[in-house]
Amino acid sequence: MISHYFTLLIGAELFQNIMHIERESKLRIIKKKFTLLLLFFVAAIYNISAATKGLSINEPYIIVIDPGHGGGKIGAKGRKSTEKDIVLDISKKLKTLLEAQIPNAKVLLTRTTDIDVTFLSRIQLANKNKANIFISIHANSADVDIRVRNKNGKYVNSVRRNPKVRGTETLVLGFHRMAEQDVAIRENADLLLEDNYKEDFSDFNPSDPSSYIIFQLMRNQYRRESIKLASLIQGQYVKSAKIDRGVKEQGLAVLSKATMPAVLTEIGFISSPEEEEYMLSAKGQEEIAQNLTNAIKMYKEHLKI
Ligand SMILES: [Zn+2]
């Protein structure tokens, strides 16, 4: 952004120079023109290098993959499996594909086993390693926890199943329309179980409108790129005939401290028996990992234009 202002300033000075052309000696004009031309080239080179930051041939392209949940935090529950296991399997396959198909890709996983990792250390791994992109992988659920009366008249926990809801969606950080943020409520739930969450996320309150404004200002530079990456991911899911629930903005804690384009993708509904089967199958896992690899490849390419 700064380099654009730099280019504009030089452009303005060049204009002024032409306006005063008659008052200057020929030699001085040539010298000044040459200096300005040189500055113009420097600005142009700076512009190009800023737009393709991290994309030079020898520099690694750092991708942080975040398999959601883990350990005691199981995420959503299907009939046969849990979200934490499915997303770990797919994240590992994704790492293999990315390293095989993207030159110079350096892929880091926030967890490689069934362990509990705090929200802060997930995003810190990406920030510390100056990752180019951060992708958190999750599975969705449309089941609703309810309280019902059993035979003896006592209230017990139960689940109202919604097996027909299916599809994929990819989320970026946003703070508006809080009432509709169903995924954010579910995906942020783990945070409340962490010991230090109040200190670690003291500036994060998705229900506070002033947080929204602060985060919008802070994250605007990454917002457009995050939406671009999210759109490319949804585009690839659609190519594999998956239902498209779109790109959404929600108040997601895990993305709130990212200092790079960051998305959270919901690869399917574990509450749909059909989609759970697909996400558990070798073919399904391979396809999802390939969808994400293709999207990342396209995202990386678009930065070169
Ligand atoms: Zn999740």
| pLDDT > 60? residue 54 | no
68 CA distance to ligand 1 middle (Å)? 5
pLDDT of residue 25: 58
Same domain, 180 and 203: yes
Indicate the pLDDT class of residue 28, thresholds 50, 70 and 90. Answer: low
77 CA distance to ligand 1 middle (Å)? 10
**Total structural domains within the chain:** 2
| 45-72: average pLDDT | 73
State how beta strands 144-149 and 155-160 pair: antiparallel
Same domain, 164 and 209: yes
Domain membership flag for residue 70: yes
Element (H, E) at 66: strand 61-67
Domain membership flag for residue 56: no
More confident residue, 211 or 160: 160
Range of the domain at 261: 61-302
CA distance 288 to 160: 28
**Which of 127-141, 173-187, 215-229 is least confident?**
173-187
Same domain, 114 and 209: yes
183 CA distance to ligand 1 middle (Å)? 8
| pLDDT > 60? residue 288 | yes
221 CA distance to ligand 1 middle (Å)? 26
60 CA distance to ligand 1 middle (Å)? 29
Domain membership flag for residue 102: yes
Same domain, 47 and 74: no
CA distance 105 to 99: 5
pTM over 0.85: no
69 CA distance to ligand 1 middle (Å)? 6
CA distance 80 to 273: 9
Same domain, 139 and 264: yes
155 CA distance to ligand 1 middle (Å)? 27
Domain membership flag for residue 138: yes
272 CA distance to ligand 1 middle (Å)? 15
DSSP 22: G
187 CA distance to ligand 1 middle (Å)? 5
pLDDT of residue 210: 63
Nearest alpha-carbon partner for 166 in 277, 252, 80: 277
113 CA distance to ligand 1 middle (Å)? 16
CA distance 121 to 127: 10
pLDDT tens digits along 243-255: 999 999 888 888 8
pLDDT tens digits along 174-201: 766 555 567 887 888 888 888 887 788 7
Same domain, 130 and 195: yes
What is the pLDDT of the chain when averaged over all its residues? 82
Same domain, 124 and 215: yes
208 CA distance to ligand 1 middle (Å)? 23
> CATH number of the domain that 112 lies in?
3.40.630.40
Domain membership flag for residue 35: yes
pLDDT of residue 56: 63
More confident residue, 212 or 263: 263
Same domain, 174 and 83: yes
Q: Are 190 and 84 in contact (CB under 8 A)?
A: no
83 CA distance to ligand 1 middle (Å)? 7
280 CA distance to ligand 1 middle (Å)? 16
Domain membership flag for residue 178: yes
Q: Write a three-state SS string for 166-232.
A: CCEEEEEECCCCHHHCHHHHHHHHHHHHCCCHHHHCCCCCCCCHHHHHHHHHHHHHHHHHHHHHHHH
Domain membership flag for residue 40: yes
pLDDT of residue 262: 95
132 CA distance to ligand 1 middle (Å)? 22
Percent of the chain with pLDDT over 70: 73
| 161-172: average pLDDT | 95
pLDDT of residue 61: 96
Nearest alpha-carbon partner for 72 in 115, 110, 107: 115
Considering 13, 30, 51, which residue would you say is the last residue of a domain? 51
Same domain, 65 and 46: no
2 CA distance to ligand 1 middle (Å)? 38
142 CA distance to ligand 1 middle (Å)? 12
247 CA distance to ligand 1 middle (Å)? 16
pLDDT of residue 57: 64
Instruction: Find all residues with CB under 8 Å of 216, minimum gap 6, and list them.
Output: 175, 223
pLDDT tens digits along 76-108: 999 999 999 999 999 999 999 999 999 999 999
Same domain, 245 and 268: yes
pLDDT of residue 44: 43
pLDDT of residue 35: 52
More confident residue, 211 or 196: 196
219 CA distance to ligand 1 middle (Å)? 22
